[in-house]
Amino acid sequence: MSVTVIVGSQWGDEGKGKIVDLLGKDAHYVARYQGGANAGHTIVIEGVQYILHLIPSGILSPNTKCIIGNGVVIDPIALMEEIKMLKQNNIDITGRLFISEKAHLIMPYHKLIDSASEKQKSDKTAIGTTGRGIGPAYNDKINRCGIRILDLMDKAIFEEKLKQNVKEKNSILGSLFNSPQLDINHILEEYSKFDDLIRPFVANTTLMINEAINNNENIIIEGAQGALLDVDHGTYPFVTSSNPTTGGACTGLGIPPTKINKVIGITKAYTTRVGNGPFPTELLDETGTNLQQFGHEFGATTGRARRCGWLDLNALKYSIMINGITDIALTKLDVLNHFDEIKVCVSYKLGEEEINYFPSDIKRLEKVTPILKSLKGWKKDLSGINSFEKLPIEAQDYISFIENFTGVKITYISISPDRKDTIIK
Ligand code: GDP
Ligand code: IMO
Ligand code: MG
């Protein structure tokens, strides 16, 4: 029994949902610790696709309990839509979903400010957010004026906090963004409905998860986004507003770092990024378009086309370092079936200098050119392969090259969106 953290090692959309679902099948708990409905985690079971944004990817396994931790920012509208979607698919969540009373709420003004502030920026400065209100909600949390699930359940406190916030946000919306004013009564009415709907799921999840750890239960912790989108360690300011890296799991759930046994870094066999910001191995040519088409690289939350490029091992090494990744799950290997030649980035060239670290300053990161190593493609369909030894030798070489370069074992190899198509090495 163990505590396993699953993190995205790149810029998100690495296939975390698929691997969390697979490992969550046999887990007592699956818990989310950060982010919100900006995430889009896709799971395919026997051909049926589910996309989850807020509810942990363990919810599709009938014996697994799911926790939305204190570090997550919860949009009640998105949550209700997701619960409805699960009901329509006959997935029983009774007694299986728990929401931290300490989690912060996404309010209508967070979404309005998110979109309005993006609109005011230029093409160069816009972050390309998902528009889900994430940044403004975490802003309020850090600024100590956020509204928590606890507050939602106390009418007087909720009204008082809402009044203060609406006053302040109306002033921002009016003066900075020239946007229409918010009506407090409308929000009060809408959110009092959420109180009734959410109340049955609210729990002291910090206590719950620590009890489970002490009882040696099997716990999977599900990261959203990815290490390079981390607000501290990513390509700031082109990042999200939380800590998707492993450390975020401790604060976002209230668990001690000493209890984490394993960290799986979900790594796409190439790289994608949605939204703006530096991307050293991005391919703006036909190869990039091919990766996008073969990999169906369109966002699960916003439908935006994802930017594509070769696997960046220099960035992966950095991600392994800051997350303490003990195992890699390599996903979407099948997308590379179509290429004669596959490249990986082993270091960067910055001016005349070759560097093998990930620069903190995006002005420097924007200037690097990737130093690429070429490997031979396998040009074969991988369907039905269920062991490492049965993979074409060129695919085995690709995997071994990544393992040797990073010093981390690749324990899972994913060759299709479906739960069943995963090789365990
Ligand atoms: P997440 O945000 O990390 O959970 O990833 P997303 O769900 O946003 O994006 C990953 C996409 O790749 C989804 O459409 C998955 O169904 C799909 N996917 C996951 N693993 C594989 C794989 O091994 N091969 C292929 N072809 N698709 C995969
Ligand atoms: P999953 O969990 C990929 C990106 C946005 C934008 C930046 C900030 O599915 O991997 P935000 O709305 O968070 O303020 O946007 O972060 N982004 C993601 N990119 N996958 C995600 O989640 C993402 N969540 C946010 O595109 O560049
Ligand atoms: Mg996603």
Q: Summarize pLDDT for 16-65 with one digit per residue, the tens.
A: 999 999 999 999 999 999 999 999 999 999 999 999 999 999 999 999 99
Which residues are within 8 A (CB) of 270 and not within 5 positions of it... i.e. 6 or more apart?
291, 295, 308, 309, 310, 311, 332, 335, 336
Q: Summarize pLDDT for 313-337 with one digit per residue, the tens.
A: 999 999 999 999 999 999 999 999 9
Instruction: Provide the whole-model pTM.
Output: 0.98
What is residue 281's predicted lDDT score, i.e. its pLDDT? Answer: 98
Q: Which residue from 11, 14, 18, 290 has its CB within 8 A of the most atoms of ligand 1, so it is best to mutate?
A: 18
Distance (Å, whole) CA 362 – CA 221:
30
Q: Summarize pLDDT for 292-308 with one digit per residue, the tens.
A: 999 999 988 888 999 99
**pLDDT band with cut points at 50, 70 and 90 for residue 161:** very high
DSSP 3-state of 312? strand
What topology is assigned to 2-96+204-424 in CATH?
A: Adenylosuccinate Synthetase; Chain A, domain 3 (3.90.170)
Distance (Å, whole) CA 178 – CA 172:
9
Q: Are 151 and 158 in contact (CB under 8 A)?
A: yes
> Residues 227, 363, 129, CA angle at the centre, nearest 5°?
50
Q: At which residue do the structure tokens 């931290």 appear?
A: 100
Strands 219-222 and 48-52: unpaired
Distance (Å, whole) CA 276 – CA 274:
7
For residue 41, indicate whether it is catalytic. Answer: yes
| Atom of ligand 2 minimally distant from the CA of 229 | 16
Q: Summarize pLDDT for 118-154 with one digit per residue, the tens.
A: 999 999 999 999 999 999 999 999 999 999 999 999 9
Which residues are within 8 A (CB) of 206 and not within 5 positions of it... i.e. 6 or more apart?
70, 100, 102, 253, 254
Distance (Å, whole) CA 332 – CA 295:
7
**Separation of CA 14 and ligand 2 centre (Å):** 12
- Tokens found for residue 19: 């691997």
Which residues are within 8 A (CB) of 249 and not within 5 positions of it... i.e. 6 or more apart?
5, 33, 221, 223, 255, 260
Quick one: average pLDDT of 70-91?
A: 97
Q: Which residue from 331, 336, 420 has its CB within 8 A of the most atoms of ligand 1, so it is best to mutate?
A: 331
Residue 221 has pLDDT above 80, yes or no: yes
What topology is assigned to 104-201 in CATH?
A: Adenylosuccinate Synthetase, subunit A; domain 2 (1.10.300)
Distance (Å, whole) CA 93 – CA 59:
7
| Residue ID of nearest Cα to ligand 2 atom 27 | 275
Closest listed ligand to the CA of 268: 1
**Separation of CA 301 and ligand 3 centre (Å):** 7
Q: Where are the domains of the chain?
A: 2-96+204-424, 104-201
Closest listed ligand to the CA of 330: 1
Question: Which range among 177-181, 207-211, 364-368 shows the weakest confidence by mean pLDDT?
Answer: 177-181
| Residue ID of nearest Cα to ligand 2 atom 6 | 129
Q: Summarize pLDDT for 338-380 with one digit per residue, the tens.
A: 999 999 999 999 999 999 999 999 999 999 999 999 999 999 9
Quick one: average pLDDT of 102-129?
A: 96
Residue 85 CA: distances (Å) to CA of 57, 78, 136, 195:
14, 11, 27, 20
What is residue 179's predicted lDDT score, i.e. its pLDDT? Answer: 87
Phi/psi for 69 (5° steps) reads -75, 170
Residues within 5 Å of ion ligand 3, judged at the Cβ atom:
13, 40, 300
Distance (Å, whole) CA 38 – CA 274:
12
- Tokens found for residue 103: 């989690």
What is residue 343's predicted lDDT score, i.e. its pLDDT? Answer: 98
137 pocket-lining for ligand 2 (C-beta < 6 Å): no
Within 182-297, strands assigned E span 202-203, 219-222, 262-268, 271-273
Closest C-alpha among 4, 2, 9 to residue 318: 9
* Ligand 1 interacting residues, C-beta cut-off 6 A: 8, 12-18, 40-42, 44, 300, 331-332, 334-335, 414-417
| Residue ID of nearest Cα to ligand 2 atom 16 | 240
What is residue 301's predicted lDDT score, i.e. its pLDDT? Answer: 83
What is residue 300's predicted lDDT score, i.e. its pLDDT? Answer: 81
**pLDDT band with cut points at 50, 70 and 90 for residue 68:** very high
Q: Summarize pLDDT for 373-423 with one digit per residue, the tens.
A: 999 999 999 999 999 999 999 999 999 999 999 999 999 999 999 999 999
In sequence order, the β-bridge partners of residue 273 are 307
| DSSP states along 347-416 | EEEETTEEE-S--S-HHHHTT-EEEEEEEE---S--TT--SGGGS-HHHHHHHHHHHHHH--EEEEEE-S
Closest listed ligand to the CA of 20: 1
For residue 104, indicate whether it is catalytic. Answer: no
